[in-house]
Amino acid sequence: MKLYMTPGSCSTAIHIILEELEEVFEAYVVNLPAGDHFRPDYVAINPKSTIPTLVRRDGTSLTEVTAIAYWLGRTHPRAGLWPDDVESESRLVEAMAYIAGTIHGQGFARIFATNTFARNPADYDSVRELGRDIVAKGFAILNEAIGTRAYLAAEYSVADPILFYVAFWADKTGIALPEHLAAHYMRMLARPAVQRVLREEGYNTASLGKSSGREGRAGG
């Protein structure tokens, strides 16, 4: 398989899942600032011009981080990364959709891609502030949902790397993580697969999670 990804982005979640599954795959870096996602060869693979894209063994492309995570979980049943009861399945789909669609798509997107939400630079600060408000509200909701469980579904699943990538962004941007999400973030950072992926993507893992472990929050 081939994973088209950008280090430190939502595609990091898929990279982690593939590493957890011990899958053999080829990684291709898509340079978003350089506009690689609009190149004709990439558009032929993914007309949405988004990342990540997983080109599977049959040559078909699968896009959207939640869809790829779900497919990987379902197609590797022995790994136990996807539950087999409908209630747990529904709750994980609910969490992944909220993380990718709201916390990422409405919150962090306003922080990282402010100009796509406002044409006037004078509005940028208010757009970023709204983004941080959306992220904070989303984290509060997920903090309540996960509670004292180790992972989103009690047992580790493909949804946890998706929660991890937004917590990772919080760590890098100084956004506070509430208590239970901070504990989840530290738990994820301790996983060998997560450590390997972050190092492969160019991050110093020793510098991450310092505030999370000490104060129950994430800071850059």
Positions of the chain with pLDDT under 70: 211-220
* Residue-level pLDDT at 212: 56
* Residue-level pLDDT at 22: 96
CATH number for the domain that contains residue 42? 3.40.30.10
Q: In which domain, by residue range, is 69 found?
A: 2-79
Provide the domain count of the chain: 2
Residues 118 and 70 in one domain: no
Contact status, residue 3 vs residue 28, Cβ threshold 8 Å:
yes
Compute the Cα dihedral for 206, 209, 215, 220 and give only its sign. positive
pTM of the model: 0.93
* Residue-level pLDDT at 219: 34
Residues 198 and 157 in one domain: yes
